Amino acid sequence: MPATSSKTPDTRGLAGQTIGDTSVCSVNQTQLIYRGYEIADLAAHATFEEVAHLLLVGHKPTAKELEEFTTQINESREVCDGILDVIERIASEPTVHPMAILRTGISMVSHQDPECEDNSPEAEARKSIRLLAKIPTLIGACQASRDSRSRVAPDSSLSHAANLLWLITGEKPSEIAAKVMDISLILYAEHDFNASTFTGRVIASTNADMHSAVCGAIGALKGNLHGGANEAAMDMLQCIMDDTKDSEMSVDEWMTRAFEEKRKLMGFGHRVYKNGDHRAGILRGWGLRYCEENDPSKKCWFDLGDQVQAVMLRDKNIHPNVDFPCGMTYFAMGIPVPQYTPIFVASRITGWCAHIMEQHANNRIIRPLAQYVGPDLMNWTDS
């Protein structure tokens, strides 16, 4: 008989399994492609609004289409005071995570959307724009409450990225800050069947509405093994900085101890990108550029990150993913760490909605099988 391998591939978490078709995005070892356009090309030449149109509408916009699309976003940014007041009251409790607050905000917004229960393609296209427009407003209300200041209204003269920063900080962003945020939103906009997108598609496959699917996707993104990794990566760097500052412990020694303690070091490794996440280098470059133009003192975080990255590559042969430079970049920009993952939502909402619409357009309920590994059949009266 032919020899068989005793080692069965580990398919937990659906690793290596193809579970559906999509025209939205392609991810492989060397490329990340949004509807035919590679991510480096988009980061170098497109704006986030253009990428949002590409994902939600399905093609690169003409100048007229982009103008109309941008106008629709600008006109949909307002959220009623009643909802924002609730957001601020919840946010006043410091133990509540901003992702949980944003999830609640999306649920409340759904009750005032007249097309919430309409899953037609036309209604979903309109709902996706409204969600894209309102999410920064919800994030801004949350942060204003945390900062004990009055919230500001959306500014229709600002781009999506600049408006997001304005709402979070209450200050008009510099040109370089808006550009760096725009780049980060492009890089985070879409990533095929990742955990949160798959969650959204599973919910959509039951014929649930778009808002319900988005709430589920936010819940999935909240975890530190997914969207919350950028927060965890920055927390790790802050810990390293504190432990090595004014002490004889080197970064190399800190990392060696972490390896010995089998600590999970966040911002490294990827299920697909075994040779490095090509988004990471793009965002690192823009983060450094922000420091050079705006605050050179913050470059110390990138210097520390480079040391950590070198040790990980040398000792574990593991490359950073995009969450690693994201943490440093947002920190350099003065963005509160708990808002990193909500900012992710302000970008990924485009990919989520594109997938939800694609699922509804050619739907079959997602219902995989499970392999039972419990006890054999028993008789209740015999035990």
Q: What is the pLDDT of residues 138-183, one digit of tens each?
A: 999 999 999 999 999 999 999 999 999 999 999 999 999 999 999 9
145: burial class by Cβ within 10 Å (0-12, 13-18, 19+)?
Answer: buried
Quick: pLDDT tens for 45-90.
999 999 999 999 999 999 999 999 999 999 999 999 999 999 999 9
Q: Which of 11-15, 24-28, 193-197 has the lowest mean pLDDT?
A: 11-15
Q: Are residues 186 and 69 in the same domain?
A: yes
Q: Which residues pair with 268 in a beta bridge?
A: 320
CATH number at residue 51: 1.10.580.10
Q: Are residues 61 and 165 in the same domain?
A: yes
Contact (Cβ atoms closer than 8 angstroms) between residue 179 and residue 286: yes
In angstroms, the CA 112 to CA 79 distance is 10
- Residues counted in the chain: 383
Query: What pLDDT does residue 197 have?
Result: 96
Q: Do 97 and 78 share a domain, yes or no?
A: yes
Range of the domain at 245: 229-332
Q: In CATH, what number is assigned to the domain containing residue 244?
A: 1.10.230.10
For residue 271, what pLDDT is reported?
65
Task: Calculate the alpha carbon distances from 116 to 111, 127, 211, 212 in Å.
Answer: 7, 8, 7, 9
Percent of the chain predicted with pLDDT > 70: 96
Of 97, 147, 155, 226, the catalytic one is 226
Q: Are residues 355 and 301 in the same domain?
A: no
The answer on 146 and 103 residing in a single domain is: yes
Query: Average pLDDT, stretch 117-126?
Result: 98
Same domain, 191 and 95: yes
Residue 323 annotated in active site: yes
Q: Catalytic pick from 53, 160, 211, 270?
A: 270
Look up 59 and say whether it is catalytic: no
Q: Does the pLDDT of residue 263 top 90, yes or no?
A: no
How many domains would you assign to the chain? 2
Rounded Cα distance between 213 and 190, Å, is 16
State yes or no: is 111 an active-site residue.
no
User: Which candidate in 113, 209, 277, 323 is catalytic?
Assistant: 323
The per-residue DSSP string of 117-130 comes to: T--SHHHHHHHHHH
Sheet of strand 25-27: strand arrangement: 25-27, 32-34, 37-38
CA-to-CA distance for 38 and 317, rounded, in angstroms? 26
pTM: 0.92
92/203 same-domain check:
yes
Query: Tens digits of per-residue pLDDT, 81-115?
Result: 999 999 999 999 999 999 999 999 999 999 999 99
Which pLDDT band holds residue 4 (cuts at 50, 70, 90)?
Answer: very low
Q: Has residue 374 been placed in a domain?
A: no
pLDDT average, residue stretch 31-40: 95
